[in-house]
Amino acid sequence: MKKSFVDIVKRRVDLKFDAGHALGWLPGEGIVEIFLNAISFYFPSGEKFFIDSVSHYKHKIHDPVLKDQVHRFIYQEAMHTSVHNRCNKVLLEIYPNGTKLDRIGTFVLNKFRFFLPRSFQLAISCAIEHYTAILADSLFHYLDYIIERAQPEFTKLWAWHAVEETEHKAVCFDVYSHHVGRGFFAYLMRVIAMLLVTFLGTIVVATGVILIKRGRTVSPAPLSHSVEPAPNVKPNTVSLVKSLIPWRLWLDYFRPSFHPWDHDNSHYIELWKQRFPGFGIVSSLRVDEK
């Protein structure tokens, strides 16, 4: 069984978000900013679902490498939940409909918990993790552009989240392969899960974007023209759609032999480390936690 070949690092992250920077934190990219804000409201309920679906199997894992990766995956997802909750608290001052998004996400995932067997819940997590890995990959295409223009705390949030989604992108899949298998029925279940996530996820995310945009309490200030975007890296709406849904990566998931690390983008992790050296690594962490 192929496994992750990058370190899944435990980082302690304590970002401080300023309500004064929450509106227009990515100047000139309203649709991108609204999209990221919307999925931020969904992340806490989603990450709890991922943790629960993997935790159900962690005591049955005998492979020491995979067992350690699961432990680190859970740590990273719990940290994402904590930091996004703090971010969302600030965003709610501008987007009060964010509470509705949290309820929608919780409602949908609770239905999965109630009606679906544990193996299918894990397949759902594999599918969503594939999407978050695609999103992370897309964000890294525009990392320099975002660093140049966006508010620093939001830049750090999304760049850090993207690198950790890349680091642990294979964990759910490896647990699924380990416990559900790689045979025909296991393959069929993960394909069905991906189609279900694609259908429902499109509806849920589109609904979230509409709700928070319509419920916004204040309008963004006019964009200053003091900083001009680089023409070939500006994440406008068309390029956003193309990059957030790169069909080759999406279709690749349907190969019976697929593994998340077939697409090796580990160089982005090194790029992030260069841009944010030592981020989240503190001396109080024990050696075995690094």
Per residue in 33-75, pLDDT (tens digit) is: 999 999 999 999 999 999 999 999 999 999 999 999 999 999 9
Per residue in 236-276, pLDDT (tens digit) is: 555 555 555 567 888 999 999 999 999 999 999 999 999 99
Q: Do 15 and 83 meet the contact criterion of CB atoms below 8 Å apart?
A: yes
d(CA 245, CA 143): 18
Q: Please compute the mean of the pLDDT values over residues 154-179 and round it to a whole number.
A: 97
- Residue 39 dihedral angles phi and psi, to the nearest 5°: -70, -25
Residue 221 buriedness (CB in 10 A; 0-12 / 13-18 / 19+): exposed
Is the pLDDT at 164 greater than 50? The verdict is: yes
CB 150: neighbour CB atoms within 10 A? Answer: 24
CB 82: neighbour CB atoms within 10 A? Answer: 16
Q: Do 153 and 16 meet the contact criterion of CB atoms below 8 Å apart?
A: yes
Per residue in 103-128, pLDDT (tens digit) is: 999 999 999 999 999 999 999 999 99
Q: Please compute the mean of the pLDDT values over residues 140-145 and round it to a whole number.
A: 91
d(CA 87, CA 257): 38
Token pair 């067992």 in the structure block, residue: 67
> In this predicted structure, what is the pLDDT of residue 93?
93
Mention every residue, 6+ apart, whose C-beta is less than 8 A from residue 83.
Answer: 13, 14, 15, 157, 161
Amino acid at 214: R
Residue 72 buriedness (CB in 10 A; 0-12 / 13-18 / 19+): buried
DSSP 116: S
- Of 81, 39, 83, the C-alpha closest to 212 is 39
- Confidence bin at 282 (pLDDT 50/70/90): low
